[in-house]
Structure 1
Amino acid sequence: MLREELIFVGTCDIAGLVRGKGFPAAELPARRKTGIGWTHSNLMQTCFGPIFDTPFGTGGDLMIVPDPSAEVHVDFRDGSAPEHFFLGDICNIDGSPWECCVRNFLRRAVAALKRAGGLHLIAAFEQEFVYTGVEDLPGHAYSLSAFRRQGVFGEMLTGAIRAASAKPDSFLAEYGPRQYEVTVAPETALRAADQGVITREMARGAAFRLDNRAIFSPMPVADGAGNGVHIHFSLHEEEGAPATYDPHGPFGLSAAAIHFAAGVLHHMEAICAITAPSPASYLRLTPNRWAPTVANIESQDRGAALRVCPVFEAADGKQRAAQFNLEFRVCDAAASPYMALGALIFAGADGLARNLALPESSRPLPHSLGEALDVMAASETVEGWLGPTFFEAYLRHKRSELAFVAELAPDELCARYAEVY
């Protein structure tokens, strides 16, 4: 069989999907600088494909430039083409960052955190999905049976994650029918988001080679269990020392972590439009689904929006501080990891900059994407994070998606999103 290796360069856009272009591998040296051609309105592709609305029209040229630190080359050794792709930055044709680049949004959030408190953030993405290659048997949540019946998929996924230069942490059968969860080790913010994207794509790649699917949709079935993306994070001083834990603080939080958490809770309703950015997302954020319904912080409570995680077998305060982290649970895979983590960091940085205190009471989360978008649209602070062009584009993108599915019943809505994610 005559073959020539191809390489893909793309970005995980505001629809939470990796889009870009491929080229012959022999061209890589030249493409490292110029990448692949892109255009402004490509940002406005909805998760269903069509561009329903765009502020950019048909004009303009951009390029997606591969980041050498975000290269994936995984050979599944089954005769299929290797997964060889780069994640990259959307740049203007002079090489400067485009104002609507999702990776640049995250970089700017990291810079805001450094300005606010001289801190950086370490994060890890814990992602739930449905694997279609296993029979749905009732009563097997977290069971050895469900773990066994997925066959070699888990091993293929773990091997692919490691081959992609990430460190696998856990793989397990989850609560819902045919539901599994995968987690990788924590990394600095941009690398953590890269790994969040890569982990999803390795799950999809492994499932594809087994003639199955890994479905990351927020609600694959309207009356079933939802798929969440939980972002674990901790703050660190510039030289690397942990800065989240204080045994004498509320919930064991340091002063900086209190302000950070307070900022996240303060902006929670607005950033829901970024972290839970589909109509199906709000079918998950309802009572009795092990998902948050209010903007709150609690210790070791999986129904909280911000969960203070437990520390296991710490010999001393230093080990406890190194393990100590929070978990942001108002997120799913309809969100780009860059956008979700960026919004989380911007909100926390604002809390640090203003020395916000933890709220005395909790507020309900938005009940729909429309509600969340209205809160976001009214926030001058969120507009400042995104910039006016990106802010308008994001709102128009999500409102056009919302209008497209507005008449669908919950069952049909979930089916449409399960086809995409």
Structure 2
Amino acid sequence: MDRQERERRTEAARKACERLAAADVTAVALTWVDTSGVTRVKAVPLPRLAHAAAWGVGASPVFDAFLLDDSIVSGRFAGGPVGDLRLYPDLDRLAVLTALPGWAWAPADRYDQDGEPHPLDARHLARREVGRLAAEGFSVRASFEVEWAASVGGGDEFVPACAGPAYGMTRLTERSGYLLDVVRALTAAGVPVEQIHPEYAAGQYEISVAADDPVGAADTAVLVRETIRAVSLHHGLRATFAPKVLADGVGNGGHVHLSLWRDGANLMAGGDGPYGLTAFGEAFAAGILARLPALLAVGAPSVASYLRLIPSHWAGAFACWGLENREAAMRFVTGSAGERSVAANLEIKCFDAAANPYLVLAAVLAAGRAGLADGGTLPEPVSVDPVTLGGSVTPLPSSLGVALAAFEADGVLKEALGEPVVDTVAAVRRGEIALFEGAPPEEIAARTRWKY
């Protein structure tokens, strides 16, 4: 990072501080997401923001090796007390946190002390994959669906905050003020909310936001979750985004929507392929579908993820795709007639919110890019619940260990993400597997419930 860039950042921060001061902001939270999917933070008082923008804020690289319980593993590229990084706030994504009066937020990029991107910085990895696709003339629009369950009462037990039926108007009525405050807080933070509704599981809700570029979509996923968490606390509630809240219940997903674009056209529509896919759109989708077992190591990264990822729960437990098939791991969404040119997209249903959203999108884009390079084609779509087809449809890995083996063996992901990332993901996943070795589902759910 040269002197001119530091001066540019300083001036941009000074202008931002004027706006934030007018909004009564006192401090700015700078966040990044670790390998376990936990959002970590350092904060600076507003007068210090300009220095942070130009020179960064110190942070240990050890967080790459944190497990969800804050214990630390050691890999070849992460772990241990030595080293330092700098957190640089992305001033273009600064947002006032109206649910946390006096606070603003910005996602942080992690650099080393020589000004080079940290090889384990997932936000940088996602941006790099966006650039690689752009070099080939493609762009991607993405968004995350956010599901959460709200609990009432003290302690670590889960007590549903609403009693109405799944998707029922009763649930909205019971918590109408709460849900309105979620929408208001997100809107004030610049997040375009498209839909909010009660979900299937006890105390569960879901919110959908507008698509964005992949890095922006991951930023928004972090902002949405932390805003929901803050609003929940103001209402005397506790929000969890964990993959499995109750061992015998339906878990929280973290579905990813994606569409591939070129020259202003959505390549998921208007083609001669299945359901209107163009050849490019089909190849992109085929690359992702082929690597879903490996992608689970980043998209369903917790032992608890595999309590959720079971058949006949709309979790996407089979390595197949289908038109509007909510039991397929990849659901193809055309949108309504008349808007398909902008609405058609892929939904990856097998991922959950224990994932680092930046790392998920970096890996998914790399898989899609490999499909484009190979000119991939999709297998026959599945139009029924895959479980009814016996062994003719391959199930996805049913444990984190199996998914991790597929991830480590995948040459495309290794090349795209880099050896430090692959090694560190493997070390952290093995650490979590050991952490829960022999634990029954009820214990796994309880110990992960409030970590996400």
1:230-274 CA deviation, whole Å, 9 max, x = no partner? 11111111x432222135311321101110111011111101100
1:417 alignment partner in structure 2: 448
Residue identity opposite 1:348 in structure 2 = G
- Secondary structure in 1 matching 2:261: strand
2:403 alignment partner in structure 1: 372
Q: Which whole-Å CA distance do the structure 1 matches of 2:98 and 2:293 have between them?
A: 42
- Residues 49 and 172 of structure 1: CA distance in aligned 2, closer, same or farther (over 3 Å): same
Q: Which moved more, 1:46-55 or 1:283-292?
A: 46-55
2:68 alignment partner in structure 1: 47
Residue identity opposite 1:127 in structure 2 = V
- Secondary structure in 1 matching 2:90: strand
Q: Which whole-Å CA distance do the structure 1 matches of 2:379 and 2:130 have between them?
A: 24
Q: Which whole-Å CA distance do the structure 2 matches of 1:28 and 1:340 have between them?
A: 29
Question: Within 5 Å, which residues of 2 pair with 1:83-94?
Answer: 83-94=103-114
- Secondary structure in 2 matching 1:88: strand
Question: Within 5 Å, which residues of 2 pair with 1:128-207?
Answer: 128-133=147-152, 135-137=161-163, 140-207=165-232
Q: Is 2:51 aligned against 1:30?
A: yes
C-alpha RMSD of matched pairs (Å) = 1.7
Q: CA deviation at 1:13?
A: 1.9
Q: CA deviation at 1:362?
A: 4.2
Q: Which whole-Å CA distance do the structure 1 matches of 2:102 and 2:243 have between them?
A: 28
Q: Which whole-Å CA distance do the structure 2 matches of 1:255 and 1:278 have between them?
A: 35
Equivalent pairs counted in the alignment come to 409
Q: Which whole-Å CA distance do the structure 2 matches of 1:398 and 1:295 have between them?
A: 22
2:146 alignment partner in structure 1: 127
Q: Which whole-Å CA distance do the structure 1 matches of 2:243 and 2:170 have between them?
A: 25
Q: CA deviation at 1:279?
A: 0.7
1:109 alignment partner in structure 2: 129
Q: Which whole-Å CA distance do the structure 1 matches of 2:309 and 2:189 have between them?
A: 32
Q: CA deviation at 1:313?
A: 4.6
2:243 alignment partner in structure 1: 218
Counterpart contact for 2:335–2:344, Cα < 8 Å:
yes
Q: Is 2:410 aligned against 1:389?
A: no
Q: Is 2:347 aligned against 1:327?
A: yes
1:314-347 CA deviation, whole Å, 9 max, x = no partner? 1xxxx32111111111110100111111211111
Q: Which moved more, 1:381-390 or 1:366-375?
A: 381-390
- Residues 249 and 4 of structure 1: CA distance in aligned 2, closer, same or farther (over 3 Å): closer
Q: Structure 2, unaligned stretches of length 5 or more?
A: 1-23, 153-159, 381-391
Question: Within 5 Å, which residues of 2 pair with 1:235-384?
Answer: 235-237=260-262, 239-314=263-338, 319-359=339-379, 362-384=393-415
Residue identity opposite 1:12 in structure 2 = V
TM-score, length-scaled by structure 2: 0.87
Residue identity opposite 1:23 in structure 2 = V
Q: Which moved more, 1:346-355 or 1:35-44?
A: 35-44
Q: CA deviation at 1:378?
A: 1.5
Q: CA deviation at 1:41?
A: 1.5
Residue identity opposite 1:42 in structure 2 = F
Q: Is 2:40 aligned against 1:19?
A: yes
Q: Which moved more, 1:6-15 or 1:352-361?
A: 352-361
Counterpart contact for 2:28–2:105, Cα < 8 Å:
yes
1:189-235 CA deviation, whole Å, 9 max, x = no partner? 11111111111111111101122111100010111011111111111
Q: CA deviation at 1:295?
A: 1.0
Residue identity opposite 1:96 in structure 2 = E
TM-score, length-scaled by structure 1: 0.93
Q: Which whole-Å CA distance do the structure 2 matches of 1:370 and 1:32 have between them?
A: 40
Q: CA deviation at 1:88?
A: 0.9
Sequence identity (%)? 33
